[in-house]
Structure 1
Amino acid sequence: MHRPPTAETEVADELAVVRPGLLPGFTAGLPGARAAVLTRLWRAFAHEPLPWITGRDTVRDGLVLRLRDGRRLSGPAADPYRTDAYVRVVHLDDVPYDDPARLTTDLAVPHSAGFAAELGHSVASLALSRTARENHPDEWPDSDWAWEQRVVDGHPYHPNCRSRPGLSVADQLAYGPEHRPVVGLGLVPVPASACLVTGVWPSDLRDGARVLVPVHPWQAAHVLKLPCEERIAARPLMSLRTLAVPGGPHVKTALSARLTSSVRDISVASIAASATLSSFGEDLAARTDGLLHMTRTLGAATAHSPDLAAVLRESPEVYVSGGERVVPVAALATTGLPRRPGWPAAFARLALTVGLRALELGVALEAHGQNLLVVLDRAGDPLRLVYRDLADIRVSPARLARHGVPAPALPPRMLTDDPAVLRRKLFGSLVGGALAATVGSGPALREALEGAVRELPRTPDVVALREEPLPVKALTLMRTSPENAGDLWARLPNPLHWG
């Protein structure tokens, strides 16, 4: 009987043509990649408010989920903060499954077919990404982009952690940061009269009366359908569409491929607000006693289209000196950094102090492991934080006013005085994301948080952090709820009450 091709077989077939030397490592890595994605999926099943799950029963050897159609889904006890691939198999009634795509297909719940295809891509792309691990040296990198190349597995909790369905194997090898490529950015000339520019657009990206907009080669070929000479050599960062120009800025490009969950563009509104937002971020950082830096937006341009736009941002390296290193928080678990006893607690204390101070002032940072970076001293101890990409923060005009700070002119979607919305943004990204993934389990997260939280002033935000369930994005629910355009949320057990 002929079986239809899967994402795994498709990737293997293409890999055999474009890079056959990687095929043995890819094949050997598939079981581990399936377990990594299955672990993330089981976390979602155990904790997200999925409408087809009617009950959850804790049993001696794990967890049993009662499905709406009467079936049972069983697996190990689910620690929502654990990051190692500990789920190797789950059972749908009496049938074992080690493949998250096949499991999701056989669940046959609403919108599961498309999600199953994404999970298949995630497994195959993850196994492909892991073939790059042997190319990463053990010593500390000496550049900002080299730290980012170490984040091989993608999002620590999203089942679509490595889903790149818009990119071929050749594309992933050419553009994925874990493969350490040099990417040649093109320059598309746009008449200045047809281009919105904010900030200071550099003279070397102008050609008389035309603005030269940096464009990712994938975007040029697949979306713009333009021939594009590659003019700027750059190194891709974790987000893939943002690249570091060695010795220069970071360039955020439009890349209209679906990565992890969504197709992310650069809206005209975000270009229009970029200078205001950057200045506001600088003012906020100045109120944190030197514990936080905000990377400045140097310039932004768009041809009045989300498909052709770019943002130039300063490198976080401008905020370090004297042997210090600035490391994306997502890379902390991959670096083999020397950690003294109490390191996680010290990092949690720094991150919570800064995040809650900003929240009290009126700014909820989306401080996940990609946006948040930590400055380390020579011994690897945390000194201060760097935050980049302000596009998804939330700002409270009322809180700002209490501190005598006028609210900036920002897009309406960024403004809210609702404390639940503000806390979700910060707590979900910082505690449920950056800190949880750094320590890797519920017990470790509780230990890291306990000392830090005791030292914090007992504000309403801190009380909510200490006493309420932890809000995090319900990533699987969002992927299987196409009727909902915005964020959906799950409530995890408060890590401070763990055990």
Structure 2
Amino acid sequence: MHRSPTAEAEVTAELAEVRPGLAPRYAAELPGARAAVLTRLWRAFTHEPLPWVTGREPGRDHVTLRLADGRRLHGPRPDPYATAAYVTALHLDDVAYDDPARLLTGLGVPHGTAFAAELGHSVASLALSRAAQPDGPEGWPGQDWEWEQRVVDGHPFHPNCRSRPGFSVAEQLAYGPEHRPVVELGLWPVPVDECLVSGDWPEELRERERLLLPVHPWQAEHVLKAAVTKATSGGRTWGGARPLMSLRTLALPGGPHVKTALSARLTSSVRDISVYSIAMSATLSAFAESLAGRTGGLLHFTRTLGAATADSPDLAAVLRESPQCYAGEGERVVPVAALATTELPSSAAWLADFARLALTVGLNLLELGVALEAHGQNLLVVLAADGTPLRLVYRDLADIRVSPARLARHGIPVPALTGRIVTDDETTLRRKLFGSLVAGALAGTAGSAAALREALETAVRDLPRTADLDALCGQALPTKALTLMRLSPGTPGDQWAMLPNPLR
């Protein structure tokens, strides 16, 4: 077996310094972390339009990929919707690889060196995340941020599910939500006339002629290169924050969620906050609030309370309502990504009910002219005390798509939006919703093609027939080609793969 010791050895050495008691568990988790990342990578190899894969030869229980250089890569028959690791090794001709970073290095594909390093970080960070989990079963959380901490493995289908280059072990333990830390945010003063503000920036974050922008401590140290004030402002201590699954968004005690700029590459993207998204935030929030009334009470949007930037994606912040605002007595609001960590009342029946709810809302909004980026992080479900899915909550509007033509067709006033959010292209709109909701949130919750098929077959029977539903049922299912995107640094925007449709 071929293995990359680099990232794994770095974590081992750092653990010896900062948390030596965790080292044995970390070492024990490495084989499972390699298999988890290798499984995600195999999904990409077998389904994404990678230019160096020239053919795929399916067998009864395996698949062989023909590569452009004449070599062959062999692996088990893939399930594109599986979330459990089932690939422990792949064979490049006669050489077995159980380490995804070493495999990619062995493939020698264009732009593979940087991606191989990220895969090594993903394995090492995933093993670290798993090693730090408490022993034994846990009950249902009492706080909204506790649900977020349950998502230990990160993105269910991205090989970079836990890649955190630029974060030391100490920083991962201090800031990663799965490590359950408390984070002290800083406050960065900026003259008001140097800021772009959208919505109502709270008085407690104003100081004479300056705005105080909440700043993540990692950003302060590594990007801003300066210390920030850790203080109480307006009667609120901007510390004691709990990081949510996106890492850069944190829940304040008894207060809003704060999305901070964090200029590090996590999974696919550098996580800053664009000036464009700040400029659009208030308009989008008001528009979303008006749309919620058209869903029959089945969907709430978390309101953006205020957003500000010092004219830089590296120094910006967004204040949002906590989704918990939309929970009634005895109800829980759960991020969809956390559902897989929770024992649900009856898996198959529950998943069908949830799929029906999610598709009803998503397709209704798509018909009206709004395509949600409804993946497991942005989409939350309100559960009754007995676990019944009641309605949905959606947060973070920065990546939705809005169709002026569809809005106008339904007599809905078109908001004053510009840029990438606005499109009338039906393929773009459908890919946005189907790729995030069906191939993302629902598939990640189902955990296999068979479970997803059963849930969708039950759910779609009750849905009104529309052109969008016909497209969902009759075409291959789009998903972002996440590995192709990482191996195509010169190609901007999303690239797509088409997965076998469970309904066909």
> TM-score w.r.t. structure 2 length?
0.97
User: In the alignment, is the contact (CA less than 8 A) between 2:60 and 2:77 conserved in 1?
Assistant: no
Q: Which amino acid aligns with 2:300?
A: H
Identity in percent: 74
Distance in 2 between the 1:275 and 1:459 partners? 31
Structure 2 counterpart of 1:287: 294
1:190-245: per-residue Cα shift (whole Å, max 9, x none)? 11111111211111111111110000000011101111133312000000000000
Which segment drifts farther, 59-68 or 294-303?
59-68
User: In the alignment, is the contact (CA less than 8 A) between 2:243 and 2:251 conserved in 1?
Assistant: yes
Structure 2 counterpart of 1:165: 165
Structure 2 counterpart of 1:390: 397
Q: Which amino acid aligns with 1:36?
A: A
Map 1:76-475 → 2, pairs under 5 A: 76-134=76-134, 138-231=138-231, 232-233=238-239, 234-339=241-346, 342-475=349-482
Structure 2 counterpart of 1:15: 15
User: In the alignment, is the contact (CA less than 8 A) between 1:111 and 1:480 conserved in 2?
Assistant: yes
SS in structure 2 opposite 1:15?
helix
1:402-459: per-residue Cα shift (whole Å, max 9, x none)? 1111211123211111111000000000000000010100011000001211221221
User: In the alignment, is the contact (CA less than 8 A) between 1:269 and 1:411 conserved in 2?
Assistant: no
User: In the alignment, is the contact (CA less than 8 A) between 1:348 and 1:448 conserved in 2?
Assistant: yes
Distance in 2 between the 1:60 and 1:334 partners? 32
Distance in 2 between the 1:415 and 1:430 partners? 20
User: In the alignment, is the contact (CA less than 8 A) between 1:187 and 1:213 conserved in 2?
Assistant: yes
Structure 1 counterpart of 2:485: 478
How many residue pairs get aligned? The number is 495
User: In the alignment, is the contact (CA less than 8 A) between 1:136 and 1:150 conserved in 2?
Assistant: no
Distance in 2 between the 1:120 and 1:74 partners? 21
**Gapped regions of structure 2 (runs ≥ 5):** 232-237
1:136 to 1:217, Cα distance in 2 relative to 1, 3 A: farther
1:127-150: per-residue Cα shift (whole Å, max 9, x none)? 001112216861110111000000
User: In the alignment, is the contact (CA less than 8 A) between 2:348 and 2:451 conserved in 1?
Assistant: no
Q: Which amino acid aligns with 1:93?
A: D
Q: Which amino acid aligns with 2:413?
A: P
User: In the alignment, is the contact (CA less than 8 A) between 1:256 and 1:265 conserved in 2?
Assistant: yes
Give the alignment partner of residue 500 of structure 2, picking from 484, 493, 496: 493
SS in structure 2 opposite 1:248?
coil
SS in structure 1 opposite 2:262?
coil
Q: Which amino acid aligns with 1:490?
A: A
User: In the alignment, is the contact (CA less than 8 A) between 1:186 and 1:228 conserved in 2?
Assistant: yes
**Gapped regions of structure 1 (runs ≥ 5):** none
Distance in 1 between the 2:213 and 2:305 partners? 14
1:174-196: per-residue Cα shift (whole Å, max 9, x none)? 00000110000000011111111
User: In the alignment, is the contact (CA less than 8 A) between 1:278 and 1:297 conserved in 2?
Assistant: yes
Q: Which amino acid aligns with 2:371?
A: A
Distance in 1 between the 2:82 and 2:245 partners? 21
Distance in 2 between the 1:269 and 1:471 partners? 27
User: In the alignment, is the contact (CA less than 8 A) between 1:295 and 1:314 conserved in 2?
Assistant: yes
Map 1:21-36 → 2, pairs under 5 A: 21-36=21-36
Distance in 1 between the 2:4 and 2:146 partners? 39
User: In the alignment, is the contact (CA less than 8 A) between 1:339 and 1:381 conserved in 2?
Assistant: no
> TM-score w.r.t. structure 1 length?
0.98
SS in structure 1 opposite 2:185?
strand
Q: Which amino acid aligns with 2:52?
A: W
Distance in 1 between the 2:429 and 2:136 partners? 38
Distance in 2 between the 1:148 and 1:411 partners? 32
1:480 to 1:340, Cα distance in 2 relative to 1, 3 A: closer
Distance in 2 between the 1:341 and 1:423 partners? 26
